Chains A and B, each alone.
Chain A
Amino acid sequence: MTCQSRLLAIAVRDLVVGFGKHIVLDRLSLDVYRGEILGLVGASGGGKSVLLRTIIGLLPKRGGRIEVLDTDFDASTSDATRAMGRRWGILFQQGALFSSLTVLQNVQFPMREHLDVSQRLMDEVALAKLEMVGLSRSDTHKFPSELSGGMTKRVALARALALDPEIVFLDEPTSGLDPIAAGEFDALIKTLQQTLGLTVFMVTHDLDSLYTVCNRVAALAEGKIVAIGPMPDVLQSPHPWVQAYFCGARGSKRAQERPERS
């Protein structure tokens, strides 16, 4: 599969982000192609979430350029920024569900704001989406405070996918899930990517996710992308952090087994 010939979904060039004197991302460049699943790995506190939040415009940047779906937010109007909300979906680490709305209302919220469709269709599509992410019908009238961690992630994913976005950003989608649920979640993301043609930008620590669902993996260390490519290429990288991450006790065990989960 030649990635280079494909269209860019996200283009980050020379991005600098810092807080006070502390520079988190130092002239970072990253390309994400349309239709691929990119996994981003990095040390805890190393700036993965900062990169994600900067790309989606929640954190200010000090320098560099970010284009998402050929839109540069610096150059675009607030209307364009609003229109962007229709084209991407974001799964926050803690779910970020609206606590005063039920599960079904949470999923319908973006539809209500961005689409002009009947209530009946919203109900039907929202229920179909919730079912696709594996929630039972009896859960749809619950409030977020009544959900377990895994269910919260599923609802958050259903909400991120509510508008059939072109890109979904997933911030540690499988953290806090049991291995079975995490495996199901990975399979679900893969299925959705294939059926809907999604581009997925995924921050993760889950080695299983990296091996099984990601088309490419990017390693973030010292504020830069130090290795990027399909999993075997990244494993070949000489960078000490990448070696420590993938060839440490847990990483190497996983690399040897390498079962293909579909």
Chain B
Amino acid sequence: MTTRHWLEFEKPVEDVYRKIDELAGSSADGSYRHGEEIQKLEKKAEHLLKEIYSKLTPWQITMVARHAERPYTLDYIKNIFDGFIELHGDRRFKDDPAIAGGIARLDGIPVVALGHQKGRNTKEKIRRNFGMPNPEGYRKALRLMELAERFSMPLFTFIDTPGAYPGVGAEERGQSEAIAYNLLRMSELKIPVVATVIGEGGSGGALAIGVADRVLMLEYSTYSVISPEGCAAILWKDGAKADIAAKSLKINAPELLRLGVANTIIKEPIGGAHREPETVYKDMKTALVATLKDLSAMPVDKLVEQRYQRFRSIGAFYDKGA
């Protein structure tokens, strides 16, 4: 249940664990017996964590979604799918490590799985560009999607990005076109498409691999048109108002379910997916298998029509003429 990276709002729990560590350290020399005391404290910590997680604010959930120990795309792919073979490159410019993907089996069925990939340590973080793809990343994803369609393999995508990379090269090589074309192509893929938001769903850079028949969200993931910080900087003229922006933007799983953007929420352990990843892998696998079974029962034309209608119907407006 413990972690090396405590979030600010988890401090009360961290303090209890620090006390536990102190007691465990002092009892190691044999002069004291603290077994009972430690047990009591562990219970207390568990209780505290549960209490904190029962009333997380949208901004706190954003912090959990960005947690440094949270499982990333390749963790899910390797623990849920079998025989993963990673494929590289967009055949146009280069291989973008901010998106990873390849072919694998889900419950015996060959599929294509891909997603944004963040790095675990400093070196990896830089290599993966913090999960912010350049156009070649989206074009690699498109290549894999079209491969999936050609060989009638269902497509699974995993969303976890602060957004598409805002750089000079990205603009020069057509970041907008790369995202736009993925949106167009994904809407007409003649295969089942399932997207799962596992961490941050950052705007167009997330949606570029998210036009799916079903959108699943982990309980503590977010999906938004703009980061709370970015929104706060523009609308409140103060980046520090990110907590208010997070609340206003409605970026959490239950809200997105209500707005018709997400279809299913996958529960997470108290304290987030990183505390019990094995449980999350198991639950996500169950959800993905069930979703695929559901989609596979549909003729492909109907599937594509439903996908069109799914996005066609999202939006809110008055239509006096109707």
Same complex origin of A and B: no
